[in-house]
Chains A and B, each alone.
Chain A
Amino acid sequence: MKNEMELTFDAISNNESFARMAVAAFVSTLNPTLEELADIKTAVSEAVTNAIIHGYENICGYGKYGEVRPCFWPVNQGKVQLNCLLCEGVLHIEVKDEGKGIEDIAQAMEPLYTTKPQLNRSGMGFAFMEAFMDELEVESAPGKGTTVRMKKKIGTGAWIGSEE
């Protein structure tokens, strides 16, 4: 079985929940466990949030009445592309932006490293993607945007990191 989907949306924080819900709904045909779904949603959320706040530097989103919230920084124009492919029980996710790109990918992927500590960013984004997905690949160059590719096998029911 092969099933593909493509989504393009504005790089604003309001779309973070939309993106992870869309992937969760897309993958539901494979009958994933609740744990697998939670893992996928977290990983997608991390990748999309990175594209929005680091790629396009959109710190603010829109509030209930369409106003810029919570601060009054300009909202930059840009699109995030989210492609998914289901093939042989494996979910492939690609999150692509045409933002400012990453200079040092290895450093960016270090746990707790963040370029925006003043915005209460934890620096755990890539660490979470690595922990919750089976494979992670990052392609980026300054000024050229960033592409994050992730893979996860669905239906293994593994509960990685469970220490109960």
Chain B
Amino acid sequence: MEDFQIIDNCLMVKLPVEVDHHRASYICERADKYLLEENVEHVVFDFEDTRFMDSSGIGIIMGRYKKIACFGGKVYAIHADRQIQRILTISGLTKIVEVLA
């Protein structure tokens, strides 16, 4: 299950085991609620539990980036395994997302 937490000015989004279109719509909906109601500057996506992601995951990250980038916010990806890092690289997302170990 996805999990949301606000730490300082960051929204931490813990992604579920499998990120596909079915789960993505829930995650976007809830993340946007936090972005709207809380004082969030940066978004951190935590891939610790994630074993599968397709282009829907890219859509989640791109959408959130567009919402916060105009206010100087940054998007981070943490705990991404090899496969997730590969997907981030192929999609070109590593240009806008900082991937931290």
Contact = CB atoms under 8 A, between A and B. Distances in A.
A163 B26 contact: no
Contacts of A14: 22
Interface string B17-47: 0101110111011000000000000000000
Contacts, number: 84
Contacts of A53: 21
Nearest to A43: B54
Nearest to B28: A120
A59 interface: yes
A121 B86 contact: no
Tier of interface size on chain A: 35 or more
A66 interface: no
A49 B52 CA distance: 14
17 contacts: A17-B20, A42-B54, A49-B21, A49-B55, A53-B21, A69-B25, A70-B26, A71-B25, A111-B92, A120-B59, A122-B56, A122-B58, A123-B55, A128-B55, A128-B87, A131-B90, A161-B90
